[in-house]
Amino acid sequence: MNKYSIDRKPTDVMLMLAERHKLIRKEAGYSQAEAALRSGVSLGSLKRFETTGQISLESLCLLSDLYDRLNDFDAIFRQDDLLKIENYFSKNTRE
């Protein structure tokens, strides 16, 4: 995280995801090579992800599937919360 700001930057999120992946991989007992082989992600991509946070969305999904974590993506870009807020404000402006 940026030491001068409380707001996270994209690179902060990328590095946090990489660190979480590394922990999950180790908890599963996989080496980098084994995780790469089982997921279909190249070993180079996996190593780059764990050191820099950079990875394609496809590779991130493949790794997530390896650990049965694809459902973790369900909350990203969800609109139902936005619709609730819009409905709340549209109701209150009519009163």
Residue for token digits 């070993």?
A: 43
CB burial readout 24-41, b (16+ within 10 A) else e: bbeeeebebeebbeebeb
Domain that holds residue 68: 10-94
Return the pLDDT at 8: 85
| Total-model pTM | 0.76
Return the pLDDT at 83: 67
Q: Which residues of the chain have pLDDT under 50?
A: 1
Return the pLDDT at 78: 76
Provide the residue count of the chain: 95
Domain of 45, CATH number, reads 1.10.260.40
82 lies in some domain:
yes
39 lies in some domain:
yes
